[in-house]
Amino acid sequence: FIEITGQPCAGKSSFIAQEVMIGKEIHIYEQTYLIKMFSFFAGIKYLGFQRTKVLLSWSLKENASLFFRINVFRNAVLKFGISQNLNTSTLESLPRCLVDEGLSHLPFLFLNTDTQQVVDFISDELRRVNVQFLKSPGYDVIQDRLVSRGHKRLKFLSVTCFAERNQEIEDILLNLYPNLCEELKVFEYVGNIR
């Protein structure tokens, strides 16, 4: 499987649609309610008590409502469950699968935790992950998209703070991921991705 990551409003959804439409043997990993529930429990089992506790503590540090912070925790654990399910799958006859915002996306969830610390937390898992990283089309474009499209985090953070922190995370990941991921492909912004 291949994970697609990049900061919010970088154009990941459009990029994924283009990848699927090219006619490659690729499909999008669908996350129904049952798959999410199963993946959450698989993630808890895989992580164990100590690592789950770390994710919970990072989630509770976020500037957001309690409900939102719990949702960050749930999403983080889900990513481990999905990765574990796909890594242990023996269905090799299936087409390659695109996972939108998988484990490699975890640093973008934890804005109030040191990014290096988050990367260290997932470094063992990253060694088994093929990542396609969509670079930001530029700070001004990201800010414009955040304002026009909105984002759930903007209820708790200013557009400027959110965009600046995500750019900082992107810069750190582009420096660290080449040495950590099984494979990393970085894609530059393409003008027609909206």
Confidence of residue 10 (pLDDT cuts 50, 70, 90): confident
Please give the structure tokens belonging to residue 173: 């990941």
Q: What whole-number distance in Å separates Cα of residue 166 and Cα of residue 12?
A: 14
What are the distances in angstroms from CA 173 to CA 53, 72, 116, 117, 120?
24, 20, 9, 12, 11
User: Which pLDDT does position 27 carry in this prediction?
Assistant: 63
For residue 163, give every residue at least 6 positions away whose Cβ sits within 8 Å of its Cβ, in sequence order, or none.
139, 142, 143, 146
Please give the structure tokens belonging to residue 124: 């063992």
User: Which pLDDT does position 194 carry in this prediction?
Assistant: 38
* 14-23, 50-59, 102-111: the lowest-pLDDT one: 14-23
